[in-house]
Structure 1
């Protein structure tokens, strides 16, 4: 097992370029300077200034799916954000806070090598993370700006921490119980936004007129 980890790190460090086209994608060496293709345009996915190339691309995808969640729900009232389709459902507002909580727990897992939320984050985010009855009772009465602010606060922490790291870190990070590298963990955060965006769409279309 240890030999595999060493070999993987050697493989990553030996790759000098990444190439888009002909179906080939190689990961750049740490420190490789790729063109910044995302410069303020949310619809340009790719490296960003201030981040290593793969991390910048990941951040641009996170920003895109978060923007999609916010934009789709931008016209909903507080009452609509609190709409509960049935006793087993979750409100759109609680799903949005759940997404922020998911990003926070992966910050603790990957940036701080914790097995779960830190104690402070557990107190703040566990209800939104678990959803269920407590979330249905407690997460309500908030305008869209409340959830936007939560996203912005959480994403600022993600970006600040990602700037301290490079692509070699992103490709590392296996854990004892689940063999996911850091890229897979953060891809999961990204697809979690997309997954619940679809769920929100389903609920929004069923809000009584």
Structure 2
């Protein structure tokens, strides 16, 4: 799909027209709008080069919260990433793999019309998706770079597939059994990173000194 370049000024301008029609939308000063770049500032939420506006904005939020997961835990050792608070808990490392697995399953659901992992993805990712005892036994002994590499690998697939799609696709996707559009599904992926980041923070603060 050939996407025309977008920038924040154009995106906000479009919102301005909408706001004039509804009289209900408060907008920032247009002079603060910045053009989309190939290497956007992680702290600038908004359209990204190579993507339609709402897809780019969604990806900027997903990248920001994913980066926060890695940044907050950047000084943890392998032993700390494997810390198990109690028998019913999950380690920080296994929760990171759970996040990557969640993104993969939503790739299969939204990009390929499946209800679960593809046969190729399930053997690799199902343990991390389900967590529990299997994850406690199998996901351990890895440095932070292992989990970051998993995030980067999965995100590269997400972005490659999103480049093939547009905002009409993002705002569609409801099914008879699942009345969420694709935007809601991918917002849930973003929210999942944030939700488990809070859980990891709780565990990290209780690692014995």
TM bin (shorter chain): 0.7 to 0.9
Match of residue 147 from structure 2: 147
TM-score w.r.t. length of structure 1: 0.85
Match of residue 134 from structure 1: 134
Match of residue 18 from structure 1: 15
Gaps of 5+ in 1: 1-15, 26-33
Q: Relative to 1, partners in 2 of residues 1:55 and 1:35: Cα closer, same or farther, differing over 3 Å?
A: farther
- Note the 1:155-166 alignment, pairs <5 A: 155-166=155-166
Q: How much has 1:175 moved relative to structure 2?
A: 1.6
Q: How much has 1:23 moved relative to structure 2?
A: 4.5
The CA distance in 1 between the partners of 2:171 and 2:71, in whole Å, is 31
Q: Matched residue of 1:105: which SS?
A: helix
Superposition CA RMSD, Å: 1.9
- Note the 1:23-172 alignment, pairs <5 A: 23-24=24-25, 36-37=35-36, 39-172=39-172
Q: How much has 1:24 moved relative to structure 2?
A: 2.5
Q: Relative to 1, partners in 2 of residues 1:24 and 1:182: Cα closer, same or farther, differing over 3 Å?
A: same
The CA distance in 1 between the partners of 2:201 and 2:79, in whole Å, is 16
The CA distance in 1 between the partners of 2:122 and 2:91, in whole Å, is 21
* 8 Å contact kept, 1:85–1:203: yes
The CA distance in 1 between the partners of 2:93 and 2:74, in whole Å, is 12
Match of residue 28 from structure 1: none
Q: How much has 1:122 moved relative to structure 2?
A: 0.6
What CA deviation, in whole Å up to 9, does each residue of 1:151-190 have, x standing for no partner? 0000000000000000000000002212000000000000
Which ranges of 4 or more aligned residues in structure 1 deviate by more than 6 Å?
none
How many residue pairs end up in the alignment? Answer: 186
The CA distance in 1 between the partners of 2:34 and 2:49, in whole Å, is 9
- Note the 1:168-183 alignment, pairs <5 A: 168-183=168-183
- Greater shift, 188-197 or 38-47, is seen at 38-47
* 8 Å contact kept, 1:37–1:45: no
TM-score w.r.t. length of structure 2: 0.85
